[in-house]
Amino acid sequence: MPSSIRLGTRISSLARWQAEWVAEELRRRDVEVELVPITTTGDVQREPIKRIGAQGLFTKEIQRALLDGRIDLAVHSLKDLPTEAVPGLCLAAVPQRAPAGDVLVCPEYGLLEKLPPAAVVGTGSLRRQAQLLHERPDLTVEDIRGNVDTRLRKVAEGQYDAIILAEAGLRRLGLADRITQSLPMSLMLPAIGQGALGLESRSDDDATRPSVGRLDHPPSHQAVVAERTMLAALQGGCLAPIAAWARSHDDQLTLTGRVLSVDGSKRLESTLTAAAAEPVLLGECLAGELLAHGAGELVAASRSEPP
């Protein structure tokens, strides 16, 4: 067991909350932890994420610090972590997943169905944009950047009629009272890995990995592996309009995947169930089914869309 684990964290309030939560869980298991703040490209970049178009905006600098030996452990929001493996690093644990879904923050109208035509909804996600427009093509979707507090301030000031955020982030920050509607999975499937944390370490760090592994929650780990495998097989990256939700029941794992056109006019969806011990096979099979119905063309088209 290491005498102390240096835990790298982004500087945003949500990232700090996540890192401090992991640190406290490790300390409860008699592991000393030192937090090491790291600024990432995604934290300082002010352009819309879909215009930047690069994967790993929130993770690369932290992963570099891991490889350089400046830190021993990284805490990622798994929805931000690219599926392509980084040589020398491994996913040491996935703690129990928080609520995976998305929510609406809409101070004036409350519910999505009450928004009037042409109402402005803020989101920086093509996945959310496409699913929203599939349900309500009469709405206006505009990009929004900034941390959670900044986004909430903008909608409170009336810059947007509503915004869409991850439920997990609001609950972790004690801001659940700002939620006006939990969006059903039938309308808004989450991003791959949304609501889950990924604890990443060096593959050869035999001191850190066993300590961190004690925080692993196998059902959550299996679910995100299935989702991430599906995404990798679709070659969609973190920004394409692809959504998925895996959930465990008994010894089974059910995965629903969805691929859309950017404007929401086309939507493909499929659901499969397999043994919980076979999340990779489940993800590959679901991706194959979606590809057989034209998902590859939708993903390719999303890359050619103007920012």
Catalytically active residues, by annotation: 80
Pairwise CA distance, residues 31 & 220, whole Å: 23
How far apart are the C-alpha atoms of 69 and 274, rounded to whole Å?
Answer: 39
Check: CB of residue 156 under 8 Å from CB of residue 192: no
- In contact, 173 and 148? CB cutoff 8 Å: yes
**Residues 33, 39, 41, 44, CA torsion sign:** positive
Place of tokens 């969806």: 269
Task: Check if the beta carbon of residue 148 is closer than 8 Å to that of residue 163.
Answer: no
Query: What distances in angstroms separate CA 41 from CA 19, 51, 58, one per listed residue?
Result: 18, 14, 6
Please give the Cα distance from 251 to 274 (Å, whole number). Answer: 9
User: Would you say 169 and 148 are in contact if contact means Cβ atoms under 8 Å apart?
Assistant: yes
Token pair of 154 as six digits? 């903008």
154-188: burial string, b at 16+ Cβ within 10 Å, e else: bbeeeebbbbbbbbbbbebbeeeebbbbebebeeb
Token digits for 166?
């991850």
